[in-house]
Amino acid sequence: MPAPLESVPPPQDRDGAGSGLGELCVLMKLGEIVLKGSNRKLFERRLHNNIRNSVRDLGQIRLSQRGSGVIIVRRPGASDVEVARIAERMADVMGVVWVHLVRRVDKDLDTITDVAVRSMADLQGSFAVRARRRDKRFAMTSSELAGHLGSRIVEAYGYPVRLKRPDHTLYVEVDKDEAFVFTDGTPGQGGLPAGMSGRGLVLMSGGIDSPVAAHRMIRRGLKVDFLHFSGMPFTGPESIYKAYSLVRQLDRFQVGSRLFVIPFGKAQQQLKSSGAERLQIVAQRRLMLRTAEALADDLGAECLVTGDALGQVSSQTMANITALDDAVDLPILRPLIGMDKTEIMDQARRIGTLAISELPDEDCCTMLTPRQVETAAKIGDLRQIDRRLDADELAEHLLTTAQVHKPSFLGEAAPARVRAAGA
């Protein structure tokens, strides 16, 4: 996973062209997408769509693919702050490995040199220049260009050059019609464009784990919907508010998320009256999964996703996980299965869900928890409970009580993380 994103103040709100530094735009480096051979065009189309969707409240953008590994996003006429806001969004688009705010300049050595030197003003420590030509007709080789710019920067400021692990790096990339000058960037999410791997349905509690599980699967190219079971009418609506806020936060990574909410309290009580006792928790989880499977069928989702981690709580022993799998035919993806709680919490902090998950609520699962929880549930016993209850019919009934919400992050300001060269 990328390192936590730094908090860096945004550039001044001034017109980039007016500052003489060239138009500010966003340059993105892609990762695995470049490896996908003949599927590459499909991946690119999906990624371009996702990029456009993630900034559709920020005005009209111009997007262009450069070779297989670079995308440029421009919004001519926008202020630097507006372009920086686009860059912030790009840091959350799956499939993007690096995000750079770059100066787009004429493909002319004097202009490139002038902007490069000015981009390196007021720094502390050593530096290096990395030059790259996507247009090999440029008069200098990449290393000649890097050497030339390096010596001009030394003349101007006297910074020491260090090619291995410099404190600052100046990048210059020369394209067919223009050149781009930029300094350090921000790590993106990596992974694959959301939607590339099909659809899934995430079982979303208000807890710490399920949002992290969702993020992991979106990152591997799933487009997901979310299903939350509240304890209503026996609990308050707090868990629904939490699920809503969590989905809104996760919407940054895929755009267009839907949250389905089902009141589960009465079904839990029916399970209790049917004498589930020590099996209450596992039987509840099986009923949730069955209901989720019925919803997945309606939505065209090909898998269910949960935040289970082996051994983390009593419902997550190997025997109980096997008993959960028995309840449905769809595959249940459990991306956190081998993770420690501390690792999951670190991840939750990075994706901005931890603080929401830690808000108090009344979890429907704890509402009717028996004094002793079965850690080695027998599938035969659970199937008997399902028969007594007519679990399939109950799942179908629960589905008819679902309410759908569309928590969207669009229109929200993001914290500033990406810095422009020369800003």
With contacts defined by CB under 5 A, name the span among 31-39, 95-103, 199-207, 322-330 that binds Mg ion: 199-207
Give least dist CB 298 to ligand ATP, A.
17
Q: Applying CB under 6 A, which of residues 70, 129, 146, 208 lies at the interface with ligand ATP?
A: 208
Give whichever of 86 and 304 is closer to ligand ATP, judged by the CB atom: 304
Q: Is the peptide bond before 233 cis (omega within 30 degrees of 0)?
A: yes
With contacts defined by CB under 5 A, name the span among 49-57, 207-215, 218-226, 273-281 that binds Mg ion: 207-215
Residues 6+ apart with CB under 8 A from 349: 4
Q: Where are the beta strands (DSSP E) in 135-189?
A: 168-174, 179-182, 186-187
Give least dist CB 142 to Mg ion, A.
53
Q: Is there binding between residue 204 and ligand ATP (CB under 6 A)?
A: yes
Q: Applying CB under 6 A, which of residues 207, 221, 335, 352 lies at the interface with ligand ATP?
A: 207
Q: Applying CB under 5 A, which of residues 188, 207, 263, 335 lies at the interface with Mg ion?
A: 207
Start-to-end CA span in the chain (Å):
28
Give whichever of 190 and 265 is closer to Mg ion, judged by the CB atom: 265
Give least dist CB 94 to ligand ATP, A.
20
Name the DSSP class of 207.
Answer: S
Give least dist CB 225 to ligand ATP, A.
12
SS3 181: strand
With contacts defined by CB under 6 A, name the span among 59-67, 148-156, 158-166, 205-213 that binds ligand ATP: 205-213
Give whichever of 74 and 334 is closer to ligand ATP, judged by the CB atom: 334
Give whichever of 130 and 350 is closer to ligand ATP, judged by the CB atom: 350
Give least dist CB 341 to ligand ATP, A.
8
With contacts defined by CB under 5 A, name the span among 32-40, 190-198, 200-208, 260-268 that binds Mg ion: 200-208
Q: Applying CB under 6 A, which of residues 307, 335, 352, 422 lies at the interface with ligand ATP?
A: 307
- What burial class does residue 410 get, using C-beta atoms within 10 Å of its C-beta: 0-12 exposed, 13-18 middle, 19+ buried? middle
Q: Is the dihedral of CA 137, 138, 144, 150 positive or negative?
A: negative
- What burial class does residue 295 get, using C-beta atoms within 10 Å of its C-beta: 0-12 exposed, 13-18 middle, 19+ buried? buried
Q: Is there binding between residue 364 and ligand ATP (CB under 6 A)?
A: yes
Q: Which does 280 bind (CB under 5 to 8 A by kind): ligand ATP, Mg ion, none?
A: none
With contacts defined by CB under 6 A, name the span among 63-71, 154-162, 199-207, 217-225 that binds ligand ATP: 199-207
Q: Is there binding between residue 205 and Mg ion (CB under 5 A)?
A: yes
Q: Give phi and psi for 271, each to the nearest 5.
A: -60, -40
C-alpha span between 129 and 156 (Å, rounded): 15
SS (H, E, C) 275-336: CCHHHHHHHHHHHHHHHHHHHHHHHCCCCEECCCCCCCCHHHCHHHHHHHHCCCCCCEECCC
SS (H, E, C) 11-32: CCCCCCCCCCCCEEEEEEEECH
C-alpha span between 71 and 47 (Å, rounded): 10
Give whichever of 128 and 283 is closer to ligand ATP, judged by the CB atom: 283
Give whichever of 312 and 384 is closer to Mg ion, judged by the CB atom: 312
Q: Is there binding between residue 254 and ligand ATP (CB under 6 A)?
A: no
Q: Is there binding between residue 315 and ligand ATP (CB under 6 A)?
A: yes
Q: Is there binding between residue 188 and ligand ATP (CB under 6 A)?
A: no
Of 400, 398, 374, residue with least CA distance to 283 = 374
The size of the interface with ligand ATP (CB under 6 A), counted in residues, is 20
Q: Is there binding between residue 312 and ligand ATP (CB under 6 A)?
A: yes
Q: Which does 284 bind (CB under 5 to 8 A by kind): Mg ion, ligand ATP, none?
A: none
Give least dist CB 210 to ligand ATP, A.
3
Which tokens hold the place of 131? 């030059």
Q: What angle do CA 312, 315, 317 make, to 5 degrees?
A: 65
Beta carbons of 281 and 369 less than 8 angstroms apart: yes
Which tokens hold the place of 183? 């300094």
Number of C-beta neighbours around residue 33 at 10 A = 24
Give least dist CB 376 to ligand ATP, A.
16
Q: Pattern 320-359, binding to ligand ATP, x per CB under 6 A? A: ----------------------------------------
> By the criterion CB under 6 A, which residues form the site for ligand ATP?
203-205, 207-210, 227-229, 288, 306-308, 312-313, 315-316, 364-365
